[in-house]
Amino acid sequence: MTLEFPGNPFAPRRRRTREVRVGDVGVGGENPIRVQSMTTTDTQDVAGTVAQAERLVAVGCEIVRITAPSLRDAEALGEIHAELTRRGIRAPLVADIHFTPNAALEAARWVEKIRINPGNFADKKKFEVRAYDDVQWQDEQARVAERFRPLVRRCKELGRAMRIGTNHGSLSDRILNRYGDTAEGMVESALEFLAVCEDEGYFDVIFSMKASNPQVAIRAYRMLAVRLAQRSGEGRGRGDYPFHVGVTEAGDGEDGRIKSAIGIGSLLEDGLGDTIRVSLTEDPVKEIPVAQALARRIEARWQAPEGESVREAGLRFVDDPFGHARRASDPVALFAGAGPGRGVASVPPIEFGGTAPVRAELDLGAPPDESEAEAAAWQLADALAARREIACEGLRFEIPDEAALERVRRFGEALERHALALPLALRMPASLAAHASALGSRWVIPVAAGSDTALPLAAARTAAAQGMAVEWALVATAPAGSAALLEALDHALAASGAAQLGRVLISVESPRPVPAVRLVTAALRARGAAVPLVLVHRDDPEASDDDALLHASIDLGALLCDGIGDAIVLPLRGGVCRAGDTLALAYRILQGARLRTTWTEFISCPSCGRTLFDLEETTARIKAKTQHLKGLKIAVMGCIVNGPGEMADADFGYVGSGPGLVNLYVGHDCVERHVPAEEATARLVDLIKRHERWVEPS
């Protein structure tokens, strides 16, 4: 059966869910998105765990998770809960359970919610390959159900909530053997556990479908939403369980925040998510402002008036919203400097679309005054040269009038003197057609519904005569995809045809870019137009750098993860001398969406009470040695219990195996055991060298 996108992709609203009470905190229903985190202390260190939980609550954490790897840890939860209550802290606690059903039963006596992982609640992870016939499969399901049932009964009896938290990296061998490590396997794994809950008349369930790869997480959550709705439609259970959304092992620093924003932000853009956790390999207190920023932004968008939205039957923005395939487009060559025949003849054109990588451009806004052009070009060249590993593939300018046109001409000449021969995109109104003589390789022409169609056509004819490519910037004022946007698209396509434009691109300017670009993508599909799409990010200039990073990651990442976009454009923040930072952000977003790899990818767990070393410091040390290894995935995991299972598709793994000891992995194979921690980074580097994946840093 073909699965349809959950909801309306062109005007997504929040998925309707029931409220599940976690102590005093309601999750789902009409409640705001709840922000949560997890302690990293040893659970049996009651004072340390209480202190960290208190710090988390003080910055706005609404639900606190604590690992319970053993019965004694589960018992300690009682003391932690009592001490927090004594201090007047009522934030509910969640026991995190892997492999230990007996600890779960004990923990349920003390905390408001139990998180179980269907991949390891009743199964060990041995990476065994084995075929199950139907009888064996059902026998195994029955065995798992009987292990799980006592916990369900206890949660029901004590009024506890439960999270059925599937992780892509820790699916059971049984599920892996039948479904592979797929989103479908993740969903099936969770639904098996839900069946037991519903069989017991227990419905206080929240789901998660986490993965370190945002694309996988997006697919799995979407698929779960659809499957739950289907079951409910068929009278086989409820369909409105809330979702806890997160990207697991996201890492630290900017990359961790970008990956989290791409995964969590995309799902929130879909309307999926009632509580979120941002997993960073840092002090968990630092997760909270990131999660709050993601939650508040989407809540404002969910509450914005919908406007005149489109729900055209059969209009699809991707072939398969549960897979990843880059949208097909016809390549367009863009020339450096002033254009073909007039630009920098020795520089080959840069191709956008087709099989070219997703390009990264900078939006410089207004061109500098003539008196500043030389200095600005020098600073820009300097800033970009400092980031040799990444290439700026275009510059974009805002040209409101003739004077700005003259300024950009001077600046273009200055750029060429500093060997910055890049395609220039000039966003200027169609009314400047009479003055646009051979400037830039691409004219970005704004076009809106209701505007005079003669102007875009005249501009297109001028561009064609000048040998410039045209990017139609479809301007929408409604918050979501609207009929007006489609009208603008049809104006643009008609003008392209009438002017016989050979090189056309499209971008969308909308206050709600994700659904708006989806709508344009769907309309292009329906019209058979394989025009490359440029994703232009526009941010609030008042936003902090931290928020700007998150906003760009959400708005661009959500589309990129669906295979939409042939170039991304980020506005320059902080002047041309910071151009390298903005460009690096563009490349980090492309890497986070797994579309363009520039650096090593680190999969590092956020750490928890099981962690056997200082994960943040260790990750930083390994990063310093290996981050230049383009295309490699390295996992740094805190414990041997969950680490190997959660490393997902890492090429090499560094996993704590005991106090001061580390196991090293190649893929899922442990190749060196109990290496002293002080030697482990060097031994990891040796391992990478022996597997011929090492290159010396330049």
Select from 235-243, 576-584, 604-612, 677-685 the region that touches ligand SF4 (CB under 6 A).
604-612
Report if residue 37 touches ligand SF4, rule: CB under 6 A: no
Smallest gap from Cβ 73 to ligand SF4, in A, equals 12
Select from 130-138, 153-161, 537-545, 607-615 the region that touches ligand SF4 (CB under 6 A).
607-615
Token pair of 62, please? Answer: 């609404």
Smallest gap from Cβ 638 to ligand SF4, in A, equals 3
Taking CB under 6 A as the criterion, the residue among 639, 650, 684, 688 binding ligand SF4 is 639
Taking CB under 6 A as the criterion, the residue among 245, 606, 636, 657 binding ligand SF4 is 606
Q: What secondary structure letter does DSSP report for 349?
A: P
Select from 221-229, 479-487, 599-607, 661-669 the region that touches ligand SF4 (CB under 6 A).
599-607
Smallest gap from Cβ 128 to ligand SF4, in A, equals 21
For the chain, how many helices (H) and strands (E)? 19, 25
Shorter beta-carbon distance to ligand SF4: residue 318 or 608? 608
Smallest gap from Cβ 643 to ligand SF4, in A, equals 4
**Separation CA 623–CA 612 (nearest Å):** 19
Report if residue 125 touches ligand SF4, rule: CB under 6 A: no
Taking CB under 6 A as the criterion, the residue among 267, 638, 654, 662 binding ligand SF4 is 638
Instruction: Report whether 632 contacts 688 (CB < 8 A).
Output: yes
Please give the residue whose beta carbon sits closest to ligand SF4 in the complex.
638
Instruction: Report whether 274 contacts 17 (CB < 8 A).
Output: yes
Shorter beta-carbon distance to ligand SF4: residue 457 or 641? 641
Smallest gap from Cβ 220 to ligand SF4, in A, equals 18
Shorter beta-carbon distance to ligand SF4: residue 119 or 440? 119
State how far Cα 65 lies from the chain centre.
23
Token pair of 284, please? Answer: 């968990």
Report if residue 663 touches ligand SF4, rule: CB under 6 A: no
Select from 223-231, 344-352, 523-531, 634-642 the region that touches ligand SF4 (CB under 6 A).
634-642
Shorter beta-carbon distance to ligand SF4: residue 103 or 501? 103
Give CA angle at 514 (509, 515), nearest 5°.
Answer: 95
Identify the helix (H) or strand (E) that includes residue 333: strand 332-334
Neighbour-count burial of 689, counting CB atoms closer than 10 A to its CB (0-12 exposed, 13-18 middle, 19+ buried): exposed
Which residue's entry shows tokens 């059966």?
1
Shorter beta-carbon distance to ligand SF4: residue 579 or 641? 641
Smallest gap from Cβ 226 to ligand SF4, in A, equals 29
**Separation CA 442–CA 201 (nearest Å):** 62
Select from 86-94, 416-424, 451-459, 605-613 the region that touches ligand SF4 (CB under 6 A).
605-613
Report if residue 605 touches ligand SF4, rule: CB under 6 A: yes
List all residues 6 or more positions away from 553 whose beta carbon is below 8 Å from its beta carbon. Answer: 257, 258, 261, 262, 265, 589, 592
How many residues form the binding site for ligand SF4 (CB under 6 A)? 13
Smallest gap from Cβ 644 to ligand SF4, in A, equals 9
**Residues facing residue 245 across a β-bridge:** 276
Select from 201-209, 456-464, 529-537, 636-644 the region that touches ligand SF4 (CB under 6 A).
636-644
Shorter beta-carbon distance to ligand SF4: residue 362 or 622? 622
Select from 111-119, 211-219, 225-233, 602-610 the region that touches ligand SF4 (CB under 6 A).
602-610
Select from 2-10, 118-126, 601-609, 662-670 the region that touches ligand SF4 (CB under 6 A).
601-609
Smallest gap from Cβ 681 to ligand SF4, in A, equals 18
Shorter beta-carbon distance to ligand SF4: residue 24 or 617? 617
DSSP-derived secondary structure for 130-150: ----HHHHHHHHHHHHHHHHH
* Three-state SS letters, 465-508: HHCCEEEEEEECCCCCCEHHHHHHHHHHHHHHHHCCCCCEEEEE
Sign of CA dihedral 534, 539, 545, 546: negative
Select from 44-52, 389-397, 526-534, 640-648 the region that touches ligand SF4 (CB under 6 A).
640-648
List the interface residues with ligand SF4, window 643-662 (CB under 6 A).
643, 646
List the interface residues with ligand SF4, window 214-243 (CB under 6 A).
none
Neighbour tally for 372: CB within 10 Å? 16
Smallest gap from Cβ 182 to ligand SF4, in A, equals 22
Which residue's entry shows tokens 């939980």?
53
Token pair of 171, please? Answer: 């699916």
Report if residue 287 touches ligand SF4, rule: CB under 6 A: no
Neighbour tally for 136: CB within 10 Å? 12
State how far Cα 454 lies from the chain centre.
41
List the interface residues with ligand SF4, window 610-629 (CB under 6 A).
610-611
Cα-Cα end-to-end distance for the chain: 51
Smallest gap from Cβ 564 to ligand SF4, in A, equals 33
Smallest gap from Cβ 257 to ligand SF4, in A, equals 18
Sign of CA dihedral 226, 227, 230, 232: negative
**Separation CA 623–CA 635 (nearest Å):** 11
Shorter beta-carbon distance to ligand SF4: residue 48 or 354? 48
Give CA angle at 512 (511, 516), nearest 5°.
Answer: 115
Shorter beta-carbon distance to ligand SF4: residue 120 or 329? 120
Taking CB under 6 A as the criterion, the residue among 608, 629, 632, 636 binding ligand SF4 is 608
List the interface residues with ligand SF4, window 243-262 (CB under 6 A).
none
Shorter beta-carbon distance to ligand SF4: residue 41 or 329? 41
Report if residue 607 touches ligand SF4, rule: CB under 6 A: yes
List the interface residues with ligand SF4, window 523-582 (CB under 6 A).
none
Q: Is 491 helix (H, G, I), strand (E, B) or coil?
A: helix
Smallest gap from Cβ 265 to ligand SF4, in A, equals 22
Smallest gap from Cβ 610 to ligand SF4, in A, equals 4
Smallest gap from Cβ 440 to ligand SF4, in A, equals 50
Instruction: Report whether 364 contacts 572 (CB < 8 A).
Output: yes
In 355-456, the DSSP E strands lie at 359-365, 395-398, 424-427, 442-448
Report if residue 637 touches ligand SF4, rule: CB under 6 A: yes
List all residues 6 or more positions away from 433 whose beta carbon is below 8 Å from its beta carbon. Answer: 455, 458, 459, 461, 462
Q: Are strands 533-536 and 661-666 parallel, antiparallel or unpaired?
A: unpaired
**Separation CA 682–CA 492 (nearest Å):** 58
Which residue's entry shows tokens 């309307």?
271
SS3 content of the chain, % helix, strand, coil (to 5): 40, 20, 40
Report if residue 64 touches ligand SF4, rule: CB under 6 A: no
Helices (H), ranges, 538-613: 545-560, 579-592
By CB under 6 A, name the binding residues for ligand SF4. Answer: 605-608, 610-611, 637-639, 641-643, 646
